[in-house]
């Protein structure tokens, strides 16, 4: 696959990677022991219970490794609070479990990560009570991780150039709120929580999200924007909104008609009898559905099957919208729609099978990489598909390498329209969707957006193609999202890349959507760059003769 367009190698875990993992696991044990010691020295009543040590270790064990590495051990009592909230989440009458408290954060100034939270509340020094800067409240349970600080350091130029989402000279202490929520972990829970917090009028400054091995969530947000210092009022407002949200999520599809209602013109042309589908193997699994390789009437197809336990109104709406959009589009750089099963069970969408797999798998699983001519070819394919979609008033809303598929001829096509929408007359939308690492800041921030949100995502995809790296690879998706909005974080343009492409990257991920180019312009820039690079190579060869 891709022999003449790209080359790749399979690289296992290096010895250094293995030793790094082992070191982090040792650090986890050290954090556990230090938290336990601090709690016992403080005569914490719960810490003196006979089973507490085992319970505390179980708490660390069921959470991801990064929980232990990120938590502020100066605030050992916060670990107990997290443990108790997770226990409360196990019972329906105390779920969701919510804790709200005032905290003091130290904002980054002039793009200097040395002014971050951990600079003043380090894991080595004291942080209890009022600090030497006059802080009246404790620090958050988590602050900027070293990875975030490194990413922001690499991003200094954006702050200096005035492209940051925040003012470059915002060095000050400010009282904020730390919201900790624990409940059952469900598909799209994090998206719903961030949307809910935004709708209350709060601004997320920092965020940490964890899923436990037994199916619960622990999400911690540092926010501002609440009008007073009444934490009880904020907690009550959150509980009310979360309760309303969970009632909506519980709502299921009404199957009394035994068919999902899709406005159709001649649905008999694309409605497929599920009995005619043959399944071969599972390609991928997602939060609301599974993707299979199969066949339909001797044709190789991809079958996207929605999980029965996830069939609520939101999932049904996305299914209807995806079928509606796929039916109306036909372009060589957009995956071809074959048909759908709208008579559950199962609900499924059938498209052409793309034997080359996704660009994400090629780059990050097989560790493949593209040479520059191939990067340009792929980017042109994507731009053609996206230009066609935008000309038909369709916003993809989840453009990323996982949704860009290759066929046997190395042609790249845009796929997965599960969250795509037809742009309404006003031209703007406000619901958050997409995937955080590729998401435009206006979408993350729940502000009105239009098709230029796809252009931002394309800029991240182009950077990924040029570097072969995962965007913001040292950050969690949520940490990356907060830094993109609040700190103006962007990937560092790769060195030794053609200046035209560097300029295109920076235009695509401009903070102001109006400054981003249309895909029609992007396409012309990529074609011009391809021609220019060929001419430069020919000129270089002539000079070497």
Q: Report angle CA 535, 536, 538 to the nearest 5 degrees.
A: 65
Active site residues: 398
**What does the pLDDT read at residue 25?**
86
Task: Please give the residue that has the higher pLDDT: either 421 or 1.
Answer: 421
Flag whether pLDDT at 458 surpasses 70. Answer: yes
Task: Please give the residue that has the higher pLDDT: either 420 or 487.
Answer: 487
pLDDT digits (tens, 9 = 90+) for 471-494: 998 888 888 888 898 888 999 988
- For residue 210, the cross-strand partners are 218
Which of 154-158, 195-199, 260-264, 398-402 has the least mean pLDDT? 154-158
Cα(231)–Cα(229) distance, integer angstroms: 6
**What does the pLDDT read at residue 111?**
40
**What does the pLDDT read at residue 23?**
85
Write down the mean pLDDT value for the chain: 78
Flag whether pLDDT at 414 surpasses 80. Answer: yes
- Say if CB 192 and CB 249 are below 8 A apart: yes
The DSSP letter of residue 252 is B
DSSP string of 88-110, one letter each residue: HTTSGGG-SEEEEEEEEEE--BT
pLDDT digits (tens, 9 = 90+) for 63-79: 988 899 888 888 899 99
**What does the pLDDT read at residue 474?**
85
Most confident of 180-184, 427-431, 456-460: 456-460
pLDDT digits (tens, 9 = 90+) for 351-370: 999 999 999 999 988 888 88
pLDDT digits (tens, 9 = 90+) for 84-118: 999 999 988 888 899 998 887 655 444 443 333 33
pLDDT digits (tens, 9 = 90+) for 4-63: 434 333 344 455 667 877 888 889 999 999 999 999 998 888 888 889 999 999 999 999
**What does the pLDDT read at residue 130?**
42
- Say if CB 508 and CB 455 are below 8 A apart: yes
CA 390 to chain centroid, in Å, comes to 23
Flag whether pLDDT at 311 surpasses 80. Answer: no
Confidence class of residue 241 from pLDDT cuts 50, 70 and 90?
confident
- For residue 207, the cross-strand partners are 221
Confidence class of residue 235 from pLDDT cuts 50, 70 and 90?
confident
DSSP string of 106-142, one letter each residue: E--BTTBGGGSHHHHS-SSS--SSS-TT---SPPPSB
Flag whether pLDDT at 409 surpasses 50. Answer: yes
**What does the pLDDT read at residue 248?**
52
Extract long-range pairs of 78-84: CB within 8 Å, 24+ residues apart.
Answer: 78/141, 79/35, 79/141, 80/39, 80/44, 80/46, 80/47, 80/56, 81/141, 81/180, 82/141, 82/180, 82/182, 82/218, 83/55, 83/56, 83/59
DSSP string of 362-407, one letter each residue: HHHTS-EEE-HHHHHHHHHHHHHHHHHHHHTTEE-S--SGGGEEE-
Which of 57-66, 127-136, 181-190, 235-244 has the least mean pLDDT? 127-136
What domains does the chain contain, in order, with CATH numbers? 21-105+174-243 (3.30.70.260), 274-352 (3.30.200.20), 357-537 (1.10.510.10)
pLDDT digits (tens, 9 = 90+) for 522-539: 999 999 999 998 888 777
Percent of the chain with pLDDT over 90: 31
Which of 302-316, 356-370, 402-416 has the least mean pLDDT? 302-316
Task: Please give the residue that has the higher pLDDT: either 127 or 503.
Answer: 503
């Amino acid at each position: 696959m891709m022999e003449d367009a790209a080359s790749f190698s399979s690289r296992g875990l290096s010895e250094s990677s293995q030793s790094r993992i082992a070191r982090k696991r040792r650090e986890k044990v050290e954090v556990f022991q230090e938290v336990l010691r601090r709690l016992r020295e403080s005569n914490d009543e719960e810490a003196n219970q006979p089973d507490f040590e085992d319970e505390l270790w179980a708490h660390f064990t069921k959470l991801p490794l990064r929980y232990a590495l990120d938590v502020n051990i100066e605030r050992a009592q916060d670990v107990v609070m997290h443990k108790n909230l997770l226990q409360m989440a196990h019972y329906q009458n105390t779920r969701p479990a919510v804790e709200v408290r005032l905290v003091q954060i130290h904002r980054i100034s002039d793009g200097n990560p040395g002014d971050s939270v951990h600079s003043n509340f380090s894991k080595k020094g004291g942080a209890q009570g009022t600090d030497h800067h006059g802080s009246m409240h404790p620090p958050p349970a988590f602050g900027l991780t070293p990875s975030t600080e490194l990413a922001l350091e690499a991003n200094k130029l954006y702050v200096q150039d005035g492209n940051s989402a925040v003012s470059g000279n915002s060095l000050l202490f400010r009282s904020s709120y730390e919201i900790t929520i624990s409940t059952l972990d469900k598909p799209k829970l994090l998206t719903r929580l961030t949307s809910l917090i935004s709708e209350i009028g709060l601004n997320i400054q920092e965020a940490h999200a964890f899923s436990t091995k037994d199916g619960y969530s622990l999400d911690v947000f540092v926010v501002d924007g609440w009008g007073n210092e009444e934490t009880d009022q904020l907690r009550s407002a959150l509980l009310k909104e979360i309760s309303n949200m969970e009632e909506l999520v519980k709502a299921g599809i009404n199957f009394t008609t035994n068919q999902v209602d899709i406005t159709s013109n001649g649905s008999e042309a694309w409605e497929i009898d599920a009995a005619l589908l043959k399944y071969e193997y599972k390609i991928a699994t997602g939060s609301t559905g599974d993707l299979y390789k199969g066949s339909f009437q001797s044709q190789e197809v991809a079958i996207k099957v929605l999980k029965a336990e996830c069939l609520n109104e939101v999932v049904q709406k996305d299914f209807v919208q995806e079928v509606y959009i796929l039916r109306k589009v036909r372009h060589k750089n957009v995956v071809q729609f074959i048909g759908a099963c709208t008579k559950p069970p199962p609900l499924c969408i059938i498209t052409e099978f793309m034997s080359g797999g996704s660009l994400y798998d090629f780059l990050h699983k097989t560790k493949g990489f593209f040479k520059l001519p191939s990067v340009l070819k792929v980017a042109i394919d994507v731009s053609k598909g996206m230009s066609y979609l935008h000309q038909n008033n369709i916003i993809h809303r989840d453009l990323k390498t996982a949704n860009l598929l290759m066929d046997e001829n190395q042609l790249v096509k845009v796929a997965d329209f599960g969250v795509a929408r037809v742009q309404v007359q006003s031209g703007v939308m406000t619901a958050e969707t997409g995937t955080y690492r590729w998401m435009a800041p206006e979408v993350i921030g729940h502000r009105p957006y239009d098709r230029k949100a796809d252009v931002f995502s394309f800029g991240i995809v182009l950077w990924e193609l040029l570097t072969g790296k995962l965007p913001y690879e040292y950050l969690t998706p949520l940490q990356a999202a907060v830094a993109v909005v609040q700190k103006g974080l962007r990937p560092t343009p790769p060195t030794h890349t053609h200046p035209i492409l560097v300029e295109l990257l920076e235009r695509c991920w401009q903070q102001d959507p109006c400054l981003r180019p249309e895909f029609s312009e992007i396409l012309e820039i990529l074609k011009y760059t391809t021609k220019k690079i060929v001419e430069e190579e020919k000129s270089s060869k002539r000079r070497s003769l």
